[in-house]
Amino acid sequence: MLYKILTALVCLAVMVLAPIFVKEQRGGPCWRSLFVKMVAATGYMAAGGLCVAMTGVCSPFDKWMLLGLFGSWIGDLFLHLWQTKVFPAIGFLGFLSAHFFFIAAYWTGIRAMAPDRAFFTWPEIAFVALFDVFFVIFAVKTGLNLKGVIAVPIVIYATVITTMLCKAAVLGITAVQTGAAHGAFVLICALAGALLFVASDFTISILMFNEKQKKNYPLKMFNIVTYFAAELLLAFLIALI
Whether residue 128 is predicted with pLDDT greater than 60 in this model: the reply is yes
When mean pLDDT is compared over 129-133, 215-219, 221-225, the highest value belongs to 221-225
Residues 6+ apart with CB under 8 A from 74: 90, 91, 94, 97, 98
pLDDT at 212: 81
Each domain of the chain, given as residue ranges in start order, spans: 59-240
Residue 16: helix, strand or coil by DSSP?
Answer: helix
Question: Are the CB atoms for 208 and 36 separated by under 8 Å?
Answer: no
First to last CA, the chain: 18
Q: Which residues contact 82 (CB under 8 A, 6 or more apart)?
A: 28, 29
What is the pLDDT averaged over residues 16-32? Answer: 92
pLDDT digits (tens, 9 = 90+) for 60-113: 999 999 999 999 999 999 999 977 889 988 999 999 999 999 999 999 999 999
Percentage of the chain surpassing pLDDT 90?
A: 69
Residue 103's alpha-carbon distances to 68, 160, 162, 171, in angstroms, are 9, 9, 10, 10
Q: Residue 58 burial by CB count (10 A; 0-12/13-18/19+): exposed, middle or buried?
A: middle
Q: How far is CA 136 from CA 87, 92, 142, 153, 201, in A?
A: 26, 19, 10, 13, 14
